[in-house]
Structure 1
Amino acid sequence: MATTTQTCYRHPSRETGVSCSNCGRPICPDCMTPTPVGMRCPECSKQRTAVHTLQNVGSAVQLTPVLIGVCVVAALASGSIGAGGSGNELFARGALFGPLVADGEYWRLITGGFLHSGLIHLGFNMYLLWMLGNMLEPALGQVRFALLYLVSLLAGSAGALLVNPNAVTVGASGAVFGLMAAAFLELRARGFDPMASGIGPLILLNLMISFVPGLNISIGGHIGGLIGGVVVTVVLQQTDSTQRRTAGTVALVVLAIAVAVAGVAIAKSATPVGF
């Protein structure tokens, strides 16, 4: 099989097998600058990619605590973390429920992901959100992390409706599964073993728990969120260079709209029943 030999863009006489992780131009050892996201050429290294240390990582993680705060406030306001976790009128108006989504209450595709049925349900999801958010938000940036979370949440809602449109479904699990998928793929792309890091086993464990009878877990929500996270991460990785980030952001906004429309279409198949 014939192969094409690359030469350094600054030193054409030097062959190389390494390309800049930002712009993709081939670079020789003299032109390589190590960064947290791979080798970069002299021009791209001057962009000063932020290095997140213990001193500044806190300032890079801002959206994650906001999401956790919204979930906690929603749980308290909805009265769903007490005994039984049945909730009040706020819970009834925000939970995901196919027939009411089909009737035009489209906000349920999102609000259902911020409500929870009990303290254990809330605590487990918030622990995972905190752990994964601290890993992904500094690496992706707030805008792309927000889009990852949104698309995963909407994909989880669509998956839940696809499996059982007449079930009342709440929880951030769909979005969290999307974050787990993103963490798995990002670790692998950066040369780490996701299974050794604990992310791989975490995904497998949660998927297995999803199929345990009697736990009343939304299998469709979990798998839908996982698929959403995979699709978003692939888009992010394909548009990681500076020149492509705007196109990637637009693509994810379009994807979020498309997933929401799909969720509404799935909800149309629901059999009207009382809530």
Structure 2
Amino acid sequence: MDQAVCCYRHPDRETGIRCTRCERPICTACMVSASVGFQCPQCVARANDSSHRVTQPRTVSGGRVSAGDPFLVTKILIAVNVALWLVELAVGGGGNGTVVDKYGLFAACGHDPFGNQVCGGAADGEWYRVITSAFLHERTNPLHIGFNMLTLWWIGAPLEQRIGRAHYIALYFVSALGASAAVLLLAPDTLTIGASGAIFGLFGATAVYMRRARYDMRPILILLGLNILFSFTWSGVSWQAHVGGLVAGTLVAIGMLYAPRERRSLVQWGTTAAVLVASLALMGVAVSQVTS
């Protein structure tokens, strides 16, 4: 059973909220709204007192709160995905399109959703596919990119605000690479594209964040469960990418959000690096199996 966390100013009141400056637990009566999250009265008073040095606001993962738009990275990711989809439409080509054939993910000679053979792949040295594939979508199916981008905004934007830009960027790209590793390992001859692998990593990170903040996890677990069910039952969906992204994102988020304050940066970036190295190692194993 989890030990209850109580407000440091009111020990008789349980809470799941923490001050974004000092990270001490505070109840609803003590929390003061800030640009990101909430602050305790003591930190607000210290910041307003000119005799004290102003403490730099921190995100829930300990990173600095970025100036300007708190959702900037998410907006850029959406813009890049949409722009590349428009490029796919403009370039055209047979089957799923020239762009997807050139930059989609598979290990060796694969097949597109229409059954056409596509040669090249990571096994032939085209390693760029492990990341470019995460920014491509079916040009003949607007629902593919539409649903992914809406989900990226709904899940990604709040998460970016809470963990900060640097951690969010690392989380997104490592999740994308984790998804690619799972695809190469479990479905090496299937042409795979889409941002959903990285988005599943954001799902996992959101669940970790809600657990860390002691929020009601039922909404995110139900949403995640429905998406996992959809992954395994809907034809043409890469469950391999979804599972790989989910595992990678969850592991990175655990390292970021549960790192001890004394060695926070070391644990956070060490965990991120470890998941990245493991993903790259799995890619190497997958390609070696194909070439052998």
Following the alignment from structure 1 to structure 2, what is the Cα–Cα distance between the partners of residues 110 and 39?
42
Whether 1:79 and 2:89 are equivalent positions in the alignment is yes
AA aligned opposite 1:49: P
Q: How far apart are 1:41 and its partner, in Å?
A: 8.2
In structure 2, the CA distance between the partners of 1:212 and 1:71, relative to structure 1 (3 Å rule), is same
2:185 corresponds to: 162
Q: How far apart are 1:269 and its partner, in Å?
A: 2.0
CA offsets 1:99-123 (integer angstroms, 9 cap, x no match):
2212211111111111111211111
Stretches of 4+ aligned residues off by more than 4 angstroms: 20-27, 32-35, 37-46, 80-85
Is the deviation greater in 244-253 or in 117-126? Answer: 244-253
User: Is residue 21–residue 55 contact of structure 2 (8 Å, CA) maintained in 1?
Assistant: no
Q: How far apart are 1:85 and its partner, in Å?
A: 7.0
* 5+ residue gaps, structure 2: 1-7, 9-13, 48-53, 61-65, 109-120
Following the alignment from structure 2 to structure 1, what is the Cα–Cα distance between the partners of residues 291 and 59?
52
1:49 corresponds to: 57
AA aligned opposite 1:76: L
In structure 2, the CA distance between the partners of 1:251 and 1:41, relative to structure 1 (3 Å rule), is farther
Q: Secondary structure at the match of 1:130?
A: helix
AA aligned opposite 2:241: G
In structure 2, the CA distance between the partners of 1:257 and 1:78, relative to structure 1 (3 Å rule), is farther
Q: Secondary structure at the match of 1:79?
A: helix
Following the alignment from structure 2 to structure 1, what is the Cα–Cα distance between the partners of residues 101 and 41?
52
1:5 corresponds to: none
Whether 1:187 and 2:210 are equivalent positions in the alignment is yes
User: Is residue 150–residue 256 contact of structure 1 (8 Å, CA) maintained in 2?
Assistant: no
Whether 1:111 and 2:121 are equivalent positions in the alignment is no
User: Is residue 22–residue 43 contact of structure 2 (8 Å, CA) maintained in 1?
Assistant: no
Q: Secondary structure at the match of 2:126?
A: coil
Whether 1:93 and 2:102 are equivalent positions in the alignment is yes
AA aligned opposite 2:78: I
Please give the TM-score of this superposition, normalised by the length of structure 1. 0.75
**Alignment partner of 1:245 out of 265, 268, 281:** 265
Please give the TM-score of this superposition, normalised by the length of structure 2. 0.71
Q: How far apart are 1:189 and its partner, in Å?
A: 1.3
Q: Secondary structure at the match of 2:233?
A: coil
In structure 2, the CA distance between the partners of 1:149 and 1:26, relative to structure 1 (3 Å rule), is closer
In structure 2, the CA distance between the partners of 1:74 and 1:34, relative to structure 1 (3 Å rule), is same
In structure 2, the CA distance between the partners of 1:24 and 1:63, relative to structure 1 (3 Å rule), is closer
1:68 corresponds to: 78
AA aligned opposite 1:219: W
AA aligned opposite 1:206: N
In structure 2, the CA distance between the partners of 1:208 and 1:58, relative to structure 1 (3 Å rule), is farther
User: Is residue 136–residue 194 contact of structure 2 (8 Å, CA) maintained in 1?
Assistant: yes
AA aligned opposite 1:62: L
Q: Secondary structure at the match of 1:65?
A: helix
1:264 corresponds to: 284
Q: How far apart are 1:240 and its partner, in Å?
A: 6.4
CA offsets 1:37-61 (integer angstroms, 9 cap, x no match):
7879869985242689xxx997111
Q: Secondary structure at the match of 1:222?
A: helix
Whether 1:139 and 2:162 are equivalent positions in the alignment is yes
Q: Secondary structure at the match of 1:97?
A: coil
2:171 corresponds to: 148
Q: How far apart are 1:187 and its partner, in Å?
A: 1.1
User: Is residue 105–residue 191 contact of structure 2 (8 Å, CA) maintained in 1?
Assistant: yes
In structure 2, the CA distance between the partners of 1:229 and 1:37, relative to structure 1 (3 Å rule), is farther
**Alignment partner of 1:204 out of 225, 241, 250:** 225
Q: How far apart are 1:159 and its partner, in Å?
A: 1.3
Following the alignment from structure 1 to structure 2, what is the Cα–Cα distance between the partners of residues 271 and 51?
45
Q: Secondary structure at the match of 1:98?
A: coil
Superposition RMSD on alpha carbons, in Å? 3.8
1:124 corresponds to: 147
1:235 corresponds to: 255
- How many matched pairs? 249
Following the alignment from structure 1 to structure 2, what is the Cα–Cα distance between the partners of residues 225 and 108?
16
